[in-house]
Amino acid sequence: MYHSWNLRRLLRYLALDTALVLAAVLLTHLGKHHFSAADSAGGVSLPVLMYHSVAPVPEQQYCVTPETLESDLRYLQAHGYETVSPEELVAYTNGNGTLPEKPVMLTFDDGLYNNLSLVLPLLETYDMCAVVSVVGIFTDKYAPDAPHNDVYSYLTWEDLKQMHDSGRITLGSHTYDMHENGTRQGCAKTDWETEEEYHETLYADLSLMQTRFQEELQIQPAVFAYPYGFVCSESKPVLADLGFQITLTCLEKPNFITRNPACLYGINRYNRPGNTSTAEIMQKVLSDEKTGGLASCADVITSAAGRWFAFSPLC
């Protein structure tokens, strides 16, 4: 009875796992076909890293030390990755130019002074570029009266000009005064607003930020970073009307850049937390980009085989 019951159960597991393996093979084949087809059409995989503060303090979820950042940059360079700018991405999606074989984008949110004092020198050392997305009220209200402190100060307009003039930093908008996670989640629509009311509110904030950029630096940013990653579909018409060509989220998923400019709306980014080694974070980000988020056939086969042999009385 013991062996007869085990045999029937084994056959059921074997049939199920065979189906899983066949499905995995099919999905892997289709995934490879999809990516190879997209590659032939000019598409490129793009990992994007999201940083915030880079300061000589104990590391946290949104703060790393300069040593950690340098370790990341050294790793990327040693593994053949080249940073790309938003301008290069926009040109590529519009059919102009090419991207490196292994592109990567670096982004820094909130507009902290250490992005100038500590990050820019490292970008120069490793010949890289980055995006810095600024909150307008932090620059207008908090930065002017604060000392230039690497730990807590924000960038002034003079600082932002220096970064822009370096040629290594593309400045982006992070809203003027909608960087909050309270009653309103970032710049998302609230339940009590009509869509028209929301459009008016968002337009007033973002257009003010664009005006301040124009007044102080004579530029109009084309990159917008959603505060806290609260993506809102109702925001898209306003963003398009104000000329934004790239939007940045906080969704930790791979990106695939094609010759279609629409692919730049909703760029996914991996937060770079502190207290995590360079090897660990890079393995996560770069392995996701290689697989496109698909589980490999080998993983499924290994899982199936594990269940089979763990059960089988032959083991």
> Residues 209-227: what's their mean pLDDT?
98
The CA distance from 53 to 60, in Å, is 9
Lookup result for tokens 């697989």? 291
Euclidean distance between CA atoms 99 and 276, whole angstroms:
29
Greater model confidence, 298 or 116: 116
Return d(Cα 16, Cα 100) in angstroms, integer.
43
Alpha-carbon distances, residue 93 vs 40, 85, 89, 109, 159 (angstroms): 15, 13, 6, 24, 31
Q: Which residues contact 190 (CB under 8 A, 6 or more apart)?
A: 183, 184, 198
- Those residues with Cβ within 8 angstroms of residue 248's Cβ, 6 or more apart along the chain or in another chain: 48, 50, 107, 131, 133, 172, 223, 224, 225, 226, 267, 269
Residue whose entry in the numeric block shows the structure tokens 């790239």: 246
pLDDT(200) > 70: yes
The pLDDT of residue 292 is: 61
CA distance 6 to 21: 22
Residue type, 35: F
The residue ranking higher by pLDDT, 290 or 158, is 158
Confidence (pTM): 0.80
User: What is the arithmetic mean of pLDDT over 150-167?
Assistant: 98
At residue 28 the predicted structure's pLDDT band, cuts being 50, 70 and 90, is very low
